[in-house]
Structure 1
Amino acid sequence: MKMKELLLFLYCVLSVSVDGQHSDFHIAGCSDSYGEDVYGLDGEEVAYADFNKQKEIYPQPPFVDPMDYPGGYEQAVGQLQICRDNLQTGRKGMKDFPPEEDVPSAVMIYTRDEVEFGEKNTLICHVTGFYPAPVNVSWTKNQQKVTGSSINVPYPNKDGTFTQISRLEFTPQLGDIYSCAVQHLALTQPLTKIYEVEVSPRSDPGVGPSVFCGVGLTLGLVGVAAGTFFLVKGNECS
């Protein structure tokens, strides 16, 4: 575990069901200017507190039964102040540890659904393997900056690094070129990935379904329970 991670993530509550098939977690963390409170199930994000919008966000895909956490945002606000108080105490004890920085190990761009011209879709920019959190992701269309994208809270990986996913709603038109640029403290220049809307979209499904199917089936073969959402996608494709 990264030493400075103790400053950012002060606790993680993990519970496992009786039959051992599912696990859920609750992570709360903070810095001087940032706060995080997230709930998850089987390695996937279920809900998180958005302190800017002052409400609980539920980024769950439509193919799962909806879950909610009544009073989750109010609890997150209270935990944020406790976290920042503990942060000051922890910083005094760890002042001699040098900061660590890891550049993102992978950046991928793909569509959520199979591409059809003129039909609304979502571009996904998946960033993982970076430390510390967060990253900043910006989007362009035909080399012009676009707004309206969203990004989830940083999600901790088992090795102490983080993952974040940015999404951009778009309507595919032949020849359009999109890009997502990732900025991070450990990068001297942004990491950029390109997505081009190509011909014959119906014969060439978006990368998104392929990624979900491949990962889901692989996790199923090795018996890893942490890929619940991917497994659902894998089953749809088999």
Structure 2
Amino acid sequence: MKMKELLLFLSCVLCVSADVLHEDIAIVGCSDSDGEEMYGLDGEELAYADFNKQEEIYPQPPFIDPITYPGGYEQAVADQQVCRENLKNFGKGMKDYPPEHDAPSAVMIYTRDEVEFGENNTLICHVTGFYPAPVNVSWTKNGQKVTGSSINVPYPNKDGTFTQISRLQFTPQLGDIYSCAVQHLALTQPLTKIYDVEASGQSDPGVGPAAFCGVGLTVGLLGVAAGTFFLIKGNECS
């Protein structure tokens, strides 16, 4: 091995850094009328305290080994008492500072599964980039309010804002139009996103895979070209 190649190899080894394999998070929050305690792993909720049902909720998919926190709800209740005492003390010291309000930076509506008319599906309203939490999400079908939706507890983003996801079970039918409206302290009027079942059903299902294959082929050809270039340059330098 030539000296310059050895130095290049050693330089690359010295530049390697260890990446974080997993990130977990625990959140305790409270207000005068509400509270939150949540545990997460790698951007997903593992458990949260439901103070209305008075139990710990584990919103984990059925295909993973369940992770539980024995005594988690009792701990959450105790943490809320400490949080409210701290809230009183901080409120006195911070009363002259105006609260920060960041409106949602993005609201998206989409389906969980590929649309098939007459088949049960889930509409998802994804709201992110807001502060403080939470947001309120309401749904309509053909202009009429619908109930039965669910929403997760606020999940923190790395920039200090929050994300929440609301879900609505529905059966796609031609002509139906759904909407999700997002309300937040920083908004003067709700942010509304529309989902048109007919427009979604008429989209060409082959466009997505074809575009993906086209991009993959282009990236592959660029990789071959780059490899050939460096091989030729390496032979010239030998």
- Residue 29 of structure 1 and its aligned partner are, at CA, apart by 0.8
Distance 2:81 2:155 in 1: 21
Residue by residue over 1:139-183, the C-alpha shift from the partner in whole angstroms, topping out at 9 and shown as x without a partner, is 000100000001111111111111111111111111211000000
Distance 1:36 1:64 in 2: 25
- Residue 95 of structure 1 and its aligned partner are, at CA, apart by 1.6
Letter in 1 for 2:161: T
Structure of greater Rg? 2
Q: Given the two structures, how large is their TM-score scaled by the length of structure 2?
A: 0.74
Cα 1:78–1:173, aligned 2, differ >3 Å: closer, same or farther?
same
Consecutive unaligned residues in structure 2, runs of 5 or more? 1-17, 213-238
Structure (1 or 2) with the greater helix fraction: 2
Letter in 2 for 1:46: L
- Identical counterparts, % of pairs: 81
- Residue 204 of structure 1 and its aligned partner are, at CA, apart by 4.9
**1:117 maps to 2:117:** yes
The answer on whether the counterparts of 1:174 and 1:199 sit within 8 Å (CA) in structure 2 is no
Cα 1:202–1:63, aligned 2, differ >3 Å: closer, same or farther?
farther
Letter in 2 for 1:128: T
RMSD: 2.4
The answer on whether the counterparts of 1:183 and 1:190 sit within 8 Å (CA) in structure 2 is yes
Residue by residue over 1:96-132, the C-alpha shift from the partner in whole angstroms, topping out at 9 and shown as x without a partner, is 2111111110000011111111111111100011111
The answer on whether the counterparts of 2:115 and 2:200 sit within 8 Å (CA) in structure 1 is no
Larger RCO (CA under 8 A, 6+ residues apart): 1
Cα 1:204–1:125, aligned 2, differ >3 Å: closer, same or farther?
farther
SS of 1:186's partner is coil
SS of 1:198's partner is helix
Q: Given the two structures, how large is their TM-score scaled by the length of structure 1?
A: 0.74
**1:185 maps to 2:154:** no
The match for 2:174 is 174
Q: Which moved more, 1:167-176 or 1:137-146?
A: 167-176
Consecutive unaligned residues in structure 1, runs of 5 or more? 1-17, 214-238
Residue by residue over 1:66-94, the C-alpha shift from the partner in whole angstroms, topping out at 9 and shown as x without a partner, is 32222211211111111101111111121
The match for 2:141 is 141
Letter in 1 for 2:169: E
Distance 1:200 1:84 in 2: 47
Distance 1:157 1:87 in 2: 22
Letter in 2 for 1:49: A
The match for 2:67 is 67
The match for 1:197 is 197
Q: What is the total number of aligned residue pairs between the two structures?
A: 191
Q: Which moved more, 1:139-148 or 1:19-28?
A: 19-28
